[in-house]
């Protein structure tokens, strides 16, 4: 620990890529094939959410996906069993489990859920909605389980919140590009406008910085690369591609393969030299 989620991409001076999916959407047997596709396609990280209802930070696409996962009976145990089944066969892909505290974690002590996630073979845990009074116990439990932690902050977060997120980001730091719900568009000024804030985070953490929210196209990936972040996180756009395939009765793995191809990776993070003539 810490786990280096985007080491291969960084070594090639390329932007890393994480994608978000809800466990159980598509159904777990199909999701197994989709995870194999992600691994073979050079995706660096899967943020695999234990589905939970009524997320205040997710838009309708991700909420519908969570609803489908919940309708299929997918909870924390099923998600961790899935991770344990697919993890040994992965060559590149890391898996960060996202679990909502109120829906999935609150009935267990931090030491117990940290150990369960670690034992599944997951590479990190992102706890959503963790109450402030439990944060210290949560951090300590993950350290004791040798389980990397994904933390989050916003550009407008208080200095204390930013400092805490940076201090405990042993997996990576998820920089949420804007307030609001997922899938609602890019932040004002584009993701490249986050460059000053990304630079300030570099002074606070040695862990990778991944930018998410509003990242859905090749142009968005380029903008994230220009921000200086290590990786981009793509969520709602990919989930929407799966939803379209499911609604059409076509293969969701093929649908997601086409979505990844349209993203046009890899992208260099090396600044282009200015080749204009100078007087």
Contact 269, 13 (CB under 8 A): yes
C-alpha angle 96-200-144 in degrees, rounded to nearest 5:
35
Long-range contacts of 193-197 (CB under 8 A, 24+ apart): 193/227, 194/155, 194/227, 194/229, 195/226, 195/227, 195/228, 197/155
Contact 106, 99 (CB under 8 A): no
Q: What is the pLDDT of residue 1?
A: 42
Q: What is the pLDDT of residue 278?
A: 36
Nearest to 126 by CA among 136, 138, 108, 109: 138
The active-site residue out of 47, 100, 220, 243 is 47
Contact 173, 201 (CB under 8 A): yes
SS3 content of the chain, % helix, strand, coil (to 5): 45, 15, 40
Contact 176, 154 (CB under 8 A): yes
Contact 6, 172 (CB under 8 A): yes
Q: What is the pTM of this model?
A: 0.91
Whether 58 is a known active-site residue: answer yes
Nearest to 58 by CA among 113, 25, 21, 16: 21
What does residue 161 show for φ and ψ, rounded to 5 degrees? -65, -45
Low-confidence ranges of the chain (pLDDT < 70): 1-3, 178-188, 265-279
The active-site residue out of 58, 123, 164, 230 is 58
**Quick one: how far is CA 177 from the chain centroid?**
13
Domains and CATH numbers, the chain: 7-262 (3.20.20.70)
DSSP 124-172: EEEEET--GGGHHHHHHHHHHTT--BEEEE-TTS-HHHHHHHHHH-SSE
Nearest to 7 by CA among 47, 36, 41, 45: 45
């Amino acid at each position: 620990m810490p786990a280096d989620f985007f080491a291969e991409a960084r070594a090639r001076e390329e932007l890393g890529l994480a994608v978000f999916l809800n466990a159980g959407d598509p159904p777990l047997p199909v999701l197994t094939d989709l995870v194999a596709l992600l691994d073979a396609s050079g995706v660096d990280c899967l943020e695999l959410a234990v589905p939970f209802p009524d997320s205040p930070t997710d838009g309708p696409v991700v909420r519908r996906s969570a609803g489908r996962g919940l309708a299929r009976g997918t909870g924390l145990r099923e998600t961790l069993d899935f991770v344990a089944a697919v993890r040994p066969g992965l060559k590149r892909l890391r898996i960060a489990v996202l679990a909502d505290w109120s829906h999935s974690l609150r009935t267990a002590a931090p030491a117990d859920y940290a150990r369960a996630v670690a034992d599944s073979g997951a590479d990190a845990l992102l706890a959503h909605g963790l109450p402030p009074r439990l944060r210290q116990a949560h951090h300590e439990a993950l350290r004791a389980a040798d389980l990397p932690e994904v933390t989050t902050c916003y550009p407008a977060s208080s200095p204390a919140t930013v400092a805490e997120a940076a201090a405990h980001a042993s997996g990576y730091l998820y920089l949420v590009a804007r307030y609001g719900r997922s899938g609602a568009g890019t932040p004002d000024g584009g993701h490249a406008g986050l460059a000053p804030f990304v630079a300030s985070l570099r002074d606070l953490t040695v862990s990778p910085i991944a930018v998410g929210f509003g990242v859905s196209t090749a142009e968005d990936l380029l903008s994230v690369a220009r921000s200086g972040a290590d990786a981009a996180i793509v969520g709602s756009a990919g989930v929407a591609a799966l939803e379209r395939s499911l609604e059409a009765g076509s293969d969701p793995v093929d649908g997601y393969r086409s979505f990844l191809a349209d993203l046009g990776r890899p992208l260099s993070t090396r600044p282009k030299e200015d080749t204009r003539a100078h007087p």
